Amino acid sequence: MAGLEGRIALVTGAGTGMGRSHAEVLAERGADIVVQDIVEDAALETAELVRTAGRRAHVAVCDIADGVALAAVIGEAAALGPIDVLVNNAGIHALTPFEEIAEAEFDRIFAVNVAGTFNAMRAVLPGMKDRRRGAIVNVASTSGQIGTPGDTHYCASKGAVLGLTKAWAKEFAAWSIRVNAVSPGPIATEMTVRNRGWEGIRERAEKEIPLRRYGLPRDVSYAVAYLAGDGAGFVTGQVIPIAGGLAIVGI
């Protein structure tokens, strides 16, 4: 599979969990990484991992929901060179029954998951258009495809990410900019382990997941790397679920 030697990738929400994993895997394939996160210490740690993999890293600390702040920190990353790959990973989640969702909570989920994705695209698009190349990988969720009870605003926000993916794929194909999405299902991140515990994870895996296990962040990162690379040069507007056999839905 094509590598990412010499490419520069912006990974949002790269300080922890899957975002950190994406940054590491892209760096292993030869990409330099702009590590965006809201938490500076976390971003610095990821940047160190990128450098350990032998690649350059630039830390961009801001709230992704703040488009002006994001544009400013991405502007500072220009020293690294032009951004060829954008991984829209930053996302938040809150399991709240529908009737109990406060307006502020709803707004915050959309501000990060949808407006954050929008802001990052705005920040990198002019350069990609100028160079007539670019690969965007949005991180959706199987929740946005098939729904999850008690997860209204998250499901809706991830459904919106799929909408962005397809609309952008069509709008920017003329500049050879490809836009795709990965759609993680049950992945054992630090957050999952905290929320469910290993016992809970094992139980759900046995009962509900055809492959009878959870995935790991790397399982998602490999799909991100595939879509970011030239091997996927004819793939645009598509969604790859990484879900162990859950979400076997649309074709």
Q: Which residues are catalytic?
A: 154
Q: State the nearest-atom distance from the C-beta of 106 to other proteins, in Å.
A: 22
* Choice from 174, 194, 199, 207 touching other proteins (CB under 8 A): 174
Cα-based distances in Å from 35 to 75, 123, 181, 202: 13, 14, 19, 32
Closest listed residue to residue 137, CA positions, set 168, 112, 174: 168
Range in contact with other proteins (rule: CB under 8 A) among 78-86, 91-99, 102-110, 168-176: 168-176
Q: What is the DSSP letter of 91?
A: -
* Member of 133, 166, 196, 202 binding other proteins (CB under 8 A): 166
User: Does residue 135 belong to the site contacting other proteins (CB under 8 A)?
Assistant: no
Nearest distance in Å: CB 47, other proteins: 21
* Burial tier of 204 (Cβ tally within 10 Å: 0-12, 13-18, 19+): middle
**Residues 73, 210: Cα–Cα separation, whole Å:** 42
Q: Which two tokens stand for residue 18?
A: 């899957």
Comparing CB distances to other proteins, the nearer of 13 and 241 is: 241
Q: Is 138 in the site for other proteins (CB under 8 A)?
A: no
- For 72, 127, 198, the CA distances from 138, given in Å and listed in that order, are 21, 18, 28
CB of 138 to other proteins, least distance (A): 12
Instruction: Identify which of 21, 45, 40 has the alpha carbon closest to the alpha carbon of residue 139.
Output: 21
Positive or negative: CA dihedral 167, 172, 178, 179: negative
- Should residue 232 be labelled a site residue for other proteins when binding is judged by CB under 8 A? yes
Which x/- pattern, by CB under 8 A, does the window 188-227 give for other proteins?
----------------------xxxx-xx--x--xx-xx-
Residues that bind other proteins (CB under 8 A): 1-3, 28-29, 144-145, 162, 166, 169-170, 173-174, 176, 178, 183, 210-213, 215-216, 219, 222-223, 225-226, 231-245, 248-251
